[in-house]
Structure 1
């Protein structure tokens, strides 16, 4: 792993982890205290927000084209 892009890879990994772990923990704690529906809404909202953020920042700028030779 080159140190040139290590920071970007670490930020991507942290965002992926936080986008999954934090909504899951919030849903778990809200479900435990009796707010199951609120926990589900918050989980899907935060999970979708993380997915959209990751797409806009890291995936959308990628140049995903095949070879131009037929």
Structure 2
């Protein structure tokens, strides 16, 4: 599977699944549980995106140049 497709699926799942769970918990009268599920799901998605796609990037500037 292409990395871009996997990233899109992770982001979609990290937003849609906790959002749907939050909606149903809110409708059932468990507002606080819904908020917790939404927060944990979204934070987990952000952690997976960071660990899988952002952390491996080499974001250093050019090296070996002359210092001003």
Shorter-chain TM-score category? 0.7 to 0.9
Aligned residue number for residue 7 of structure 1: 2
Instruction: Report SS of the residue matched to 1:66.
Output: coil
Q: How many equivalent pairs are there?
A: 65
Q: What residue ranges of structure 1 are gaps of 5+ in the alignment?
A: 1-5
**TM-score, normalising length from structure 2?**
0.86
RMSD: 1.3
Instruction: Report SS of the residue matched to 1:62.
Output: coil
Q: What residue ranges of structure 2 are gaps of 5+ in the alignment?
A: none
